[in-house]
Structure 1
């Protein structure tokens, strides 16, 4: 599960919402991924506190290991915006490039897996739980799914395609590959099951 954090930057990245202009950092995201496992000393105390509060209210999960914690996207502005969309229940999905799972030898997300979503600084904001995971060609992504991922119903499919194409293109460029309409996307739908009161 520790490898999940490596891929989450890719799979949990989301895109611009309807009022946010495009910036270079959203589409020109070269591999600034740190391929190190999270250590306990790097985890903010709020992550432990959130998990402890969750299991106090849900004692049936007291024997579960604390889930991975990570933020969406790869920059502070987007990470914090996407955490807020998750807290508010607007963001309900995330998308990742299937080839990256293969490249990093990471398992596809599973239904029932929980994750603690943080802001860019590592402060816990919400706990999510995967309710579905599927692999779909880029050109077959639906408007309904795009709306869940983007957290908006204003032109969600157009926004999703533009932002994800740009992101996937920048990632693939490093290995000399190009995106295609047939490239497989790992589509995860989740529920926000806990936020701090």
Structure 2
């Protein structure tokens, strides 16, 4: 099903939603279909209810604004097919080394522990910053977003 039809089906079932503002996206590596499918399924099944991104890299890309409470997202799988719609319920910015164990748990990946979260995200953010020719350290701000599935 195409994204626009999926959104319109959601709006038909939820007439209280009057906006047509949403972002359609997949999570995971750009070319990693298996990872995108896995993360989409974790979200759809309510296991992954949070994500973390690098605050400083939002400033680099003016076409990708910071997430806002109340925004809708259409989660795509590795084949760009809609799997569910989320609504952002919390957005906070904290240094990498202050991301909580609770947030790591809600990210829903692996053991859901903070140590594993820090190890995996350190590697990921270090590479993202390197791609932008910036060093990464544990004090840099991260955007911690919490969402809920509102349609599947």
Give the TM-score taking structure 2 as reference length. Answer: 0.91
Q: Is residue 69 from structure 1 mapped to residue 24 from structure 2 by the alignment?
A: yes
Which consecutive aligned stretches of 4+ in structure 1 deviate over 3 angstroms post-superposition?
Answer: none
Give the deviation of 1:96 after TM superposition: 0.5
* Paired positions, count: 149
For 1:137-148, list aligned pairs within 5 A: 137-148=95-106
For 1:123-138, list aligned pairs within 5 A: 123-138=81-96
> Aligned match of 2:7 in 51, 54, 68?
51
Sort the Cα spacing of 1:179 and 1:70 in 2 relative to 1 into closer, same or farther, 3 A.
same
Alpha-carbon distance between aligned partners in 1 of 2:14 and 2:95, rounded to the nearest angstrom: 37
* Partner in structure 2 of residue 91 of structure 1: 48
Contact 1:150 1:156 in 2 (8 A): no
* Partner in structure 2 of residue 190 of structure 1: 147
Give the TM-score taking structure 1 as reference length. Answer: 0.71
* Partner in structure 1 of residue 126 of structure 2: 169
Give the deviation of 1:80 after TM superposition: 0.2
Alpha-carbon distance between aligned partners in 2 of 1:151 and 1:131, rounded to the nearest angstrom: 20
* Partner in structure 2 of residue 35 of structure 1: none
> Aligned match of 1:114 in 57, 63, 72?
72
- Unaligned segments of structure 2, at least 5 residues: none
Alpha-carbon distance between aligned partners in 2 of 1:49 and 1:155, rounded to the nearest angstrom: 34
Give the deviation of 1:155 after TM superposition: 4.9
Contact 1:128 1:190 in 2 (8 A): yes
* Partner in structure 1 of residue 108 of structure 2: 150
